[in-house]
Structure 1
Amino acid sequence: MQFLRTLRAVRRTIVLVGVFIYAGTELILTRPKDRVARADWLHRFCARAIKRFGIKVDVIGKPPDKGVLISNHLSYMDIVTFAALHRCVFCSKAEIRTWPVLGWMTTMAGTVYVERGRGGSAVKAAKGMQEASAAGLPVIFFPEGTTSNGEGLLKFHSGLLAQAMASEEPIVPAFIRYHLDQDNGPDVSIADDVSYWGNRDMLAHIFKFLGLKGVRVEVRFAEKPIQFSADVLHRKVAADEARVAVARVGGIRV
């Protein structure tokens, strides 16, 4: 079984390189400059990758075509999945720029990077959200601020959420989870081999992920934007309410 997983991973790595070269060539030839064109490029690239790897995506609800979308965060595949479903702009932590492949991809797609604790970062995020909104693109970010193993929800950071609320755009909660074919064997788990968290080596994790079979992604979108309470001006209260809203979409308790 391990041999078959390795063989599958090697084959898909070759496919990934091909998809990456194709996307890079397309980027160089078309030179998309505005946010819409870049979002279109990212959407095509991610949709192509999802299809080539045979990953099935089950969508419950309708992804918003404007405003702000917030979700739990489990893996680098969250970004690929959401981008494959709809053209969008991501607002993300600056560390993603250093991620193999995905860092280059998101940078070229016009992702708004936020550097925690650095002056002007909030202003940059607000400006990026405004530009995306003006272009008619939904903005996606993960309030947990990092990935987890999927056992519950981490505490939501209030910074980006406050900027999103200040923009007065509707904020729609979503929830993403992964399922695996049981044929992968007892030594494989979603928490360790699909979710990417902690200090794991990213390239090693990607290679192992590519060797998995029967990966299915379930994405749930809320029917309506979050209706914040009267204490909405208190950032911490708003973050807690947003966390509850995301958990409700996923059918979990927090």
Structure 2
Amino acid sequence: MARLKSFYKLFWVVEITILSLLRLGLAVASSGWSPDLVASRARQWAGTLVKGLDIEIEQTGDIPEYGALVISNHRSYLDIIVILSHLNAAFLAKKELKSWPVFGLAAKQGNTVFVDRSSAESRTMARQALAERLAQGISVVVFPEGTTSAGPGILPFKNGIFHLAATKDIPVVPVAICYENPKTAWIGDDLFLPHFLEMFKTSPLKTRLSFGPALRINDGDALKTAAHTSIQRQLSRSEVSKNALGH
């Protein structure tokens, strides 16, 4: 019965995603394309999924209101909807996401910037695209670990995005995301379908989302270190405290 409940939730997620894409298409046809329109519709989509999947989010800290570079640790594909449900934003994502059924199309329509991390040219073009999104007033979410990790703690950060922020004086907002159930982490060779079905056999899925203070530092390496330290500190509070997620 629990597995059947999970299948129902997966079909529902696909249905909501397709309906959201259709509504976005109608809105664009009616009023024209704009980054604000796409970002706000993406936030509505994420909020609907969070509620329907019974993901309980305890949010702390100040949410950026305009054009910030949001830096987060990365645990799962669920990170995207958890963060996106709280702010209008675009994401930096691996190019492989483009090939995902339904969700790849949603990502392409949702201001997502894709990058091939093995290509220096692709990384440069991605940074330019991110700078354009930020100039349009759209916050951009980046997972600078470059992959998911189970934790505790956080992996080392990649360099490039921090030098962009330092050079252009872009505010960097560190965000820590922590799930009550450590099995929520989607890592290594985990396949999406069995992982999703396992996660949503029971509910709710309790999550803590912590926004740190905005950072403005004109040295890329120092900015990277400060963001990493901020997220590590927030994660330590969530992961060490027995009461952090309602235990």
Q: Secondary structure at the match of 1:85?
A: coil
Matches within 5 A, 1:61-140: 61-66=61-66, 67-140=68-141
* Structure-2 residue corresponding to 1:240: 225
* Structure-1 residue corresponding to 2:186: 196
Aligned length: 234
* Structure-2 residue corresponding to 1:205: 195
* Structure-1 residue corresponding to 2:206: 216
Q: Secondary structure at the match of 1:245?
A: helix
Letter in 2 for 1:191: P
Q: Secondary structure at the match of 2:175?
A: strand
* Structure-1 residue corresponding to 2:19: 22
Q: Structure 1 residues 204 and 81 mapped into 2: Cα distance closer, same or farther (>3 Å)? A: same
* Structure-1 residue corresponding to 2:35: 35
Q: Structure 1 residues 102 and 195 mapped into 2: Cα distance closer, same or farther (>3 Å)? A: farther
CA distance in 2, matches of 1:133, 1:75: 24
CA distance in 1, matches of 2:162, 2:102: 27
Q: Secondary structure at the match of 2:85?
A: helix
Q: State the shift of 1:238 in Å.
A: 4.2
User: Given that residues 100 and 203 in structure 1 are in contact (C-alpha distance below 8 angstroms), is that contact kept between their aligned partners in structure 2?
Assistant: no
Q: 1:250 aligns with which of 228, 231, 235?
A: 235
CA distance in 1, matches of 2:236, 2:54: 27
* Structure-1 residue corresponding to 2:54: 54
Q: State the shift of 1:39 in Å.
A: 0.9
Aligned-pair RMSD on alpha carbons?
2.2
User: Given that residues 91 and 113 in structure 1 are in contact (C-alpha distance below 8 angstroms), is that contact kept between their aligned partners in structure 2?
Assistant: yes
CA distance in 2, matches of 1:134, 1:126: 12
Deviations 1:88-137 (A, max 9, x none): 11122222323444332222101111212324324322322222222211
User: Given that residues 145 and 157 in structure 2 are in contact (C-alpha distance below 8 angstroms), is that contact kept between their aligned partners in structure 1?
Assistant: yes
Spell out structure 1 runs of 4+ moving beyond 4 A.
none
User: Given that residues 125 and 163 in structure 1 are in contact (C-alpha distance below 8 angstroms), is that contact kept between their aligned partners in structure 2?
Assistant: no
TM-score (norm 2): 0.85
CA distance in 2, matches of 1:246, 1:97: 28
User: Given that residues 158 and 239 in structure 1 are in contact (C-alpha distance below 8 angstroms), is that contact kept between their aligned partners in structure 2?
Assistant: yes
* Structure-1 residue corresponding to 2:215: 226
Q: Structure 1 residues 91 and 21 mapped into 2: Cα distance closer, same or farther (>3 Å)? A: closer
Q: Structure 1 residues 167 and 103 mapped into 2: Cα distance closer, same or farther (>3 Å)? A: farther
TM-score (norm 1): 0.83
User: Given that residues 68 and 139 in structure 1 are in contact (C-alpha distance below 8 angstroms), is that contact kept between their aligned partners in structure 2?
Assistant: yes
User: Given that residues 150 and 187 in structure 2 are in contact (C-alpha distance below 8 angstroms), is that contact kept between their aligned partners in structure 1?
Assistant: yes
Q: Structure 1 residues 18 and 227 mapped into 2: Cα distance closer, same or farther (>3 Å)? A: closer
* Structure-2 residue corresponding to 1:7: 4
* Structure-1 residue corresponding to 2:242: none
Larger displacement relative to structure 2 (32-41 or 211-220)? 32-41
Q: Secondary structure at the match of 1:251?
A: helix
User: Given that residues 153 and 235 in structure 2 are in contact (C-alpha distance below 8 angstroms), is that contact kept between their aligned partners in structure 1?
Assistant: no
Q: Give percent identity, aligned residues only.
A: 25
User: Given that residues 60 and 219 in structure 1 are in contact (C-alpha distance below 8 angstroms), is that contact kept between their aligned partners in structure 2?
Assistant: yes
CA distance in 1, matches of 2:24, 2:154: 36
